[in-house]
Amino acid sequence: MGRGTAMMGPAHSLSGAASWLGVGAAAAAAGHPMPWPVLAVGALITAGAALAPDLDHKSATISRAFGPISKGLCGIVDELSHAVYKATRGPGDPRRNGGHRTLTHTWLWAVLIGAGASAAAVFGGRWAVLAILFVHLVLAVEGLLWRAARVSSDVLVWLLGGTSAWILAGVLDKPGNGSDWLFTGPGQEYLWLGLPIILGALVHDIGDALTVSGCPILWPIPLGRKRWAPVGPPKAMRFRAGSWVELKVLMPVFMVLGGLGAAGALNVI
Q: Tell me, what's the pLDDT at 243?
A: 66
Domain membership flag for residue 231 = yes
Per-residue 3-state assignment (H helix, E strand, C coil) for the chain = CCCCCCCCHHHHHHHHHHHHHHHHHHHHHCCCCCCHHHHHHHHHHHHHHCCHHHHHCCCCHHHHHCCHHHHHHHHHHHHHHHHHHHHHCCCCCCCCCCCCCCHHHCHHHHHHHHHHHHHHHHHHHHHHHHHHHHHHHHHHHHHHCHHHHHHCCHHHHHHHHHHHHHHHHHHHHCCCCCCCCCCCCCCCCCHHHHHHHHHHHHHHHHHHHCECCCECCCCCCCECCECCCCECCCHHHCECCCCHHHHHHHHHHHHHHHHHHHHHHCCCC
Task: Please report whether residue 173 resides in a domain.
Answer: yes
Give the range of the structural domain holding residue 79, as residue numbers without chain letter.
Answer: 12-18+33-256
Q: What is the pLDDT of residues 116-174, one digit of tens each?
A: 999 999 999 889 999 999 999 999 988 887 655 554 557 888 898 899 999 999 999 89
What pTM was computed for the model?
0.88
Q: Report if residue 47 sits inside a domain.
A: yes
Q: How many structural domains comprise the chain?
A: 1
Query: Which range (22-26, 164-168, 192-196, 256-260) has the least confidence?
Result: 256-260
Between residues 236 and 3, which one has the greater pLDDT? 236
Q: Residue 265's pLDDT band (boundaries 50, 70, 90)?
A: confident
Residue 41, in any domain of the structure: yes
Does residue 261 lie in a domain region? Answer: no
